[in-house]
Amino acid sequence: KSNKAGTAKECFEGVSRTMFKLNHSLDKAIFKPVAKGYRALPAPIRKGTGNAMGNLRSLLTLSNNLLQGDIKGAGNTAGRFAINTTVGVLGIFDPASKLGLEKKGKEDFGQTMGVWGADSGCYFVMPILGPTTTRDAIGLIGNVFIDPVYQITHNSEIKNSLAGNDNYSEHNYYYYRGTGAVDFRAKNIESFESIEENSIDLYASIKSLYLQNRKQKIVNS
């Protein structure tokens, strides 16, 4: 993969800082309390839920493995999904790891665009969704259309609507994404608190961490 510097020019910094403050307030008022409530669940339930969400998310990784020409990675991802979905009971358990198929990093369309040579573009902050760049914002849209989970639920909803059977299948996609987000937030409560406590400029710290993280994911380091 191409090695891009972990930097990006700032666009609309005033607006981004306002959005950042809004997101931070929402996190304190809503997302963090929900994550703490989730952490109150028994550990086996949280682990199983996280595993199941990660198993579904691996289908998006598989799509991007293929788009990046990473055949070895695609084989590993497909093998893990097949084993964990069947033997692992819909991904609740992770027998694939014990069989030698190691869990790899997640891939998304923003990373794929980086592999293709696309520059990160401007850095900015979106409401609720948080830090991003021009490339990654486009990648968010691309993720929806190349994610098999979205395609399955979306097409199911269209067919059921035409048949007069409204079972909200498409909504299941957003439930899955929301549950994954809560699981991620719950696993990183202490990390986020540490950043808050030790940052002179929290906005700048999050920006730096975001860009460095995206760089590492693109170069698979």
Q: Report pLDDT digits (tens) over 99-108.
A: 999 999 999 9
Q: What is the model's pLDDT at position 33?
A: 97
The whole-model pTM stands at: 0.87
Q: What is the model's pLDDT at position 1?
A: 47
What is the CA 10 to chain-centroid distance, rounded? Answer: 23
On the question of pLDDT at 92 being above 70, the answer is yes
Owner of token pair 């666009």 = 11
- pLDDT-derived band of residue 2, with 50, 70 and 90 as boundaries? very low
> What does the longest C-alpha to C-alpha distance in the chain come to?
57
Average pLDDT, the chain: 90
Q: Report pLDDT digits (tens) over 22-37.
A: 999 999 999 999 999 9
